[in-house]
Each structure stands twice: as structure tokens, then as C-alpha cells.
């Protein structure tokens, strides 16, 4: 079965990699793209590696109205547009696979309810790298034995949200196996605000933003006499494509929202 796909954010580093993946996958067909700058153009005019005249739309409504055979939206734009594109896709019974992070808890609940109402699947995935997802699963396992933990996530300096969706998801999974706990000295003070990082039930989250980085995370557990570090590095964005491919196939089979790749691995 051929899966007809629209990609939102094709000019971005993730989006352009996804374009290559979709066009090289025999069971996938790229029918259109959504981009806020190039309405009316075709993809071959803005991406030199593309040799097909894939139409580009600024407006998601117009895109889905003109391509009623669309099965899946791969959403890789920015948080504000990503939420709007996701809702619009669901209105047209198009299944979103969303890599854009920054959705609020309220938005996630709204998307889940709407996807169930429309009787279609939706996947919102903080990190498509299979290795990163395994890191999160292993961290959840370790939390049952190591209640003291810091998360250090490192990304390129153009990332808009902090902490990353992966770091937040990791902390949420750790919470499932860990009691809330204030870490460090009970009377510790930050001489510079933020020095100890963000706090989620006592779990400390630290964000690094530097050029040269792609996506990296360390989960460091501490216990008397020992530490345990679970670490993952994405060296380039090709590391995310197997996860996107897996989700595109899986979203065709589900109803409602799946949040996080770890739920299907």
C-alpha cells in the first residue's frame, strides 16, 4: 500500500532530511509540502536535491483540500505552526506524525480528544531516534533504584524550546518509578539564579545550546559510592529517519494520540 504524505517544514534540517527519506522509500509518496515562505512554488525550486515539482502551500487548509488523498502529515515546523497544522490535518482525517516539540498538556489533551473523535491516529514524538528512546526506557528502569538524578540535554543553538521535549519526556518516565524528592543539600542556595537547572519533582534538567551540536542527552544517576550515566548522541539528522518511517507506518493502524516512540518499541 502506498502512503501519501505531506511534509510541513521542508526547508528545515529535519524537514529536508525527511523529504529525502520519503522520496527514497518505495511505499511512500510525497504529494505536497507546507511552508510559510514559498506558497505557490514547487519543491524542486527551493531544494536542489529534489527533481520533482512537488507543490508548496502556505495554508494547511488549502493543502489538504487540494490533496484529499493525503494519508499522513509529517510535521517538522515550529511549535506555534505545528499545533495549528496538527489540528487542521485531523479536521481532514489526515494522520499527523509530529516531531515539533513544545505542545502544552492542554494541547495534547485536545489533540487526543479530537483524534479519537475523528477516528484517526496521531503521533507526537519528542525524539525519533531509536537510541534516544531506549535511553529513556533504561532511565525509567534505573529510577526504581537510583532516586537522585540530573538530566543534561545539549542541542544546537537554533532550537527554540528548553528544556527539550526529550528531556521532559525522560523526566516524566522517571517520575513513574520515583517518589518526588528534593535533591542536594536541604539549605542549598543558587548564587546565580538557574545554576541548578529547572526542577521537575526534584529532578534537575539542564539545557545547553551551542553551535556544532545536534541532539545529545545524559541522564546521570547518583547513589553513595557510585554513579550511572545513560547517554545518547545524534551525530546528524539521519538518525531520526528510521523513527519517522516507523511512525508513518504505525499511525495508519491506530486511533487517538500516541505520545512518545517508547510506547511502540
The residues assigned a catalytic role are 155, 159
Prior bond of 163 cis (ω within 30°): yes
Separation between Cα atoms, residue 123 and residue 111, nearest integer Å: 10
Query: What is the chain's length?
Result: 265
CB 77, CB 9: distance < 8 Å: yes
Amino acid at each position: 500500500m502506498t502512503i501519501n504524505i505531506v511534509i510541513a517544514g521542508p526547508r528545515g534540517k529535519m524537514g529536508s532530511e525527511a523529504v529525502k527519506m520519503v522520496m527514497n522509500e518505495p511505499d511512500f509518496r510525497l504529494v505536497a509540502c507546507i511552508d510559510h515562505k514559498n506558497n505557490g512554488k514547487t519543491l524542486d525550486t527551493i531544494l536542489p536535491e529534489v527533481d520533482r515539482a512537488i507543490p508548496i502551500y502556505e495554508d494547511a487548509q488549502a493543502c489538504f483540500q487540494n490533496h484529499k488523498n493525503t494519508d499522513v502529515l509529517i510535521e517538522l515546523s515550529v511549535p506555534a505552526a505545528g499545533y495549528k497544522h496538527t489540528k487542521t490535518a485531523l479536521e481532514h482525517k489526515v494522520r499527523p506524525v509530529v516531531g515539533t516539540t513544545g505542545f502544552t498538556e492542554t494541547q495534547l489533551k485536545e489533540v487526543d480528544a479530537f483524534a479519537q473523535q475523528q477516528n484517526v491516529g496521531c503521533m507526537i514524538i519528542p525524539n525519533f531516534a531509536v537510541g534516544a528512546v531506549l535511553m529513556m526506557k533504561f532511565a525509567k528502569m534505573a529510577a526504581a533504584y537510583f532516586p537522585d538524578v540530573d538530566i543534561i540535554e545539549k542541542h544546537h543553538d537554533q532550537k527554540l524550546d528548553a528544556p527539550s521535549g526529550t528531556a521532559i519526556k525522560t523526566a516524566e518516565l522517571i517520575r513513574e518509578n520515583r517518589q518526588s524528592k528534593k535533591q542536594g543539600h536541604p539549605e542549598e542556595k543558587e548564587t546565580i539564579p538557574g545554576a541548578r537547572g529547572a526542577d521537575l519533582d526534584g529532578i534537575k534538567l539542564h539545557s545547553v545550546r551551542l553551535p556544532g551540536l545536534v541532539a545529545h542527552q545524559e541522564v546521570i544517576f547518583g547513589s553513595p559510592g557510585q554513579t550511572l550515566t545513560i547517554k545518547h548522541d545524534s551525530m546528524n539528522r539521519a538518525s531520526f529517519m528510521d523513527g519517522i518511517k516507523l511512525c508513518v507506518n504505525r499511525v495508519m493502524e491506530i486511533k487517538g494520540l500516541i505520545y512518545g516512540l517508547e510506547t511502540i518499541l
